[in-house]
Amino acid sequence: MDFTIQIDFSPEALDAIALAGQRVTLVRSVQSFVSSQQSETVTDAFTPETAVAWLVFSPKQTNRIQWDERCDLYAAAMLPPLLGVINLEASTTNAQPGETWKYQNGHFSRESASARSDYRAGNQQDDDVCLGLISAATVNDHLRPAAPLNIQQALLNEKVLFSIADPQTVTIFLSNVVADGSIVPDGISGLDVTLASGSPLKVGFNDARNAFFIAS
């Protein structure tokens, strides 16, 4: 399943954005559930998410962002402060939905697999860690390294379930964030878009209102 967003700007808007030192910022919606006794059925007990800027880039007149549904799990030592960047300590390779992984001795190892559509990870380290999902993307034909979509603190022996909604939801806005994987304020005001696989979404930018809008 592939997802595509095209964002178009006028030359005047690009000049104003550059002068303000701002960048296009994308946040993807991920739900997480933390438990010391992992439940097989969680429908209404998801925890509030810390907002993470998945992609940050300086725009051109026409911008094309593409990604697929594949994700991997990551671990970080600490939750950064606001606008801080998440520093990855370890990550999985080719994790699949339905798999459960454990983080121990500074690396991930796969424990089990099922037909579920979520990702699960357990903290078996001596220290508390942060866990989350990472995903790569192509921005204007340049492949970007996989960056965090979210972050969730997990205590020793706790497990975390991560679920990405289908169809996927993305929030687009301008910010002064400078790096992928940065912590941004919760409740950011932006354009929320819902994407179906294989159906490119076109987004425009209203110069007068400094606001994104769905063009088609």
pLDDT score for 27: 96
Predicted confidence (pLDDT) at residue 42 exceeds the cutoff of 90: no
Give the span between the Cα atoms of 135 and 131, in whole angstroms.
Answer: 14
Which domain, by its residues, includes 73?
2-214
Predicted confidence (pLDDT) at residue 43 exceeds the cutoff of 50: no
**Tokens linked to 203:** 């987004």
**Tokens linked to 128:** 């508390």
- Whole-angstrom CA distances from 107 to 47, 76, 92, 131 are 25, 11, 8, 12
Vertex 25 angle, CA 22 and 27, to 5°: 155
Closest CA to 30 of 137, 181, 152, 184: 152
- Identify the three-state secondary structure at position 169: strand
This prediction has a pTM of 0.92
Dump pLDDT digits (tens) for 48-102.
Answer: 678 999 999 999 999 999 999 899 999 999 899 999 999 999 999 999 999 999 9
Dump pLDDT digits (tens) for 178-209.
Answer: 999 999 998 888 999 999 888 899 999 999 99
Task: Work out how many domains the chain is built from and give that number.
Answer: 1
The most confident of the ranges 118-127, 145-154, 190-199 is 145-154
What torsion do the CA atoms of 95, 157, 48, 45 make, to the nearest 10 degrees?
Answer: 90
